[in-house]
Amino acid sequence: MNAVPGRFLILSAGMGSGHHAVAAELARRLEAGGGRTTTVDVLDLLPPGIGSGLRSFYRSVICRMPVVYAGLYTAFFRAGGGPRPGSAPLAALAERRLLKLVAQTRPDVVVPVFHLAAQLTGGLRSRGALPVPSAVVITDFAVHRQWLHPGNDLHLCLTRDLAHQVRRAVRRPAVTSGALVAPRFHAPAPTVADWQRRLDSPDRPPVLISTGAWGAGAHLAQTTRLVASAGYRPVVLCGTNTRLRRDLSRIAHADARGWVDDMPGLMAASRALIDNAAGQMALEAMAVGLPVVSYRPIPGHGREGARRMAEHGLTDYAPDPWALIRALDKLTASGPARERRITTARSLFSGAGVLPLEALVRLEALVRPG
C-alpha cells in the first residue's frame, strides 16, 4: 500500500509545559513519517480572555491554594454517581473557532493532547459536526473522566492497562502508544561531564527535586532540607518561580535552579528525581534512566497519577519523609534494585507511538468517497 502522508491538527494547552512537550514530539514523529502538522493551543480557541483567565486561575490554585484544586478535581474530574459537572460547556465555547480552523487547514485527523480539547472534539464528533476523526493522546496516568468522551474515534494511552480502562469506559478503540518523549532523552548526554563539574558534589549524590514549570509544590523547603540532611545534594528545579529559587538557595548544600534547557544532561548527572506531578518530567527521567520517587504530589491528577505509576512498578511512592529517604538510599546506590527500576521504567517506551495515527489516516483514505 502506498504511503498516505496525512495532515494532523494537534490541540495542545499551555497549562505548564508538559502538554506542549508531548505535542512537539507528536509533530516531530508525524513529520518524520511524511505527515504535515499544525499545532494550536486549545485555550486560544476560546473567546478572548477566557483561555488566559483559565490558565491564570489554574496556576494560582496549583501554586497557592492546592486544597481548592483538590475540591475542583473531586467535583469535575473523578468518577462518581449521579449528575456531575463537567467541562463540556466550556469546551463548546471553542467549537466555532475549531471548525473554522479545520476548514482552513483541512486535516485528516484532529489530535487532542489535553482533556478540554478531548471534550471539544468528542462533542463535535458525536453530533457529526467535525468531519474528520479525532484521536486523543492521553498524557496522564490518572485517566480522569474529562479525558473520556465516547464521540472521539481513538485513544492513545501510556500503558496497556490504561488502554483497557479507556476501552471499558467509552466502548471505543484505545491503543498503547507508550510515552512520547523527545529523542534527546533516550540518547547519551554529551554534557553529563560538564554537569558533574557544575554540581561539584563528590560526597553528596545529586538528587533532582521537580516543581514543574511554575515552581509548585507543598513544603518544598522542608523537602530540600530533608534531602540535604540525608547526605544528598538537592538540586531543586524551580521553573519560572524566581521567588522560590531565591528562598531555597539559602538552604545549606541546596542548588536551586531556574528554567533548565539541558535537562537530559542534568538528569544523566543525577542519581534520582523526586517528582510531584506524575507528568512529562517523570517520563523524561525514565527515558534517561533516572529512577523516580513521587513525594508530596500536587493534589488531583498529580496524586492519582503518582499512585498509578507506583502501582505499575515504574516509580516509588513515598508517603512520608522516612519512606522518601529509604527510597533514595535504595535507588541511588548502584545495584540490582536500581537496575530493575530503570529496566521496568523503560518498558513505557515500547508502545506503538504515532503508528495508530498514521494508520487512521490510511483507513480514512480507503473509505473516503472518490
Radius of gyration from C-alpha coordinates of the chain: 21
Strands (E), the chain: 7-12, 36-41, 109-112, 135-137, 154-157, 174-176, 206-210, 233-237, 255-257, 272-275, 292-295, 316-318
Confidence (pLDDT) at 368 = 66
C-alpha distance from residue 340 to each of 163, 180, 210, 289, 330 (Å): 24, 22, 23, 11, 11
Confidence (pLDDT) at 1 = 42
Query: Nearest-5° angle of CA 6, CA 12, CA 14?
Result: 155
pLDDT tens-digit readout, 82-113: 566 778 899 999 999 999 999 999 999 999 99
List the chain residues with pLDDT less than 50.
Answer: 1-2
Confidence (pLDDT) at 312 = 93
Q: Cell for 291?
A: 529512577
Sign of the CA dihedral with 187 first, then 191, 193, and 198 last: negative
Confidence (pLDDT) at 81 = 62
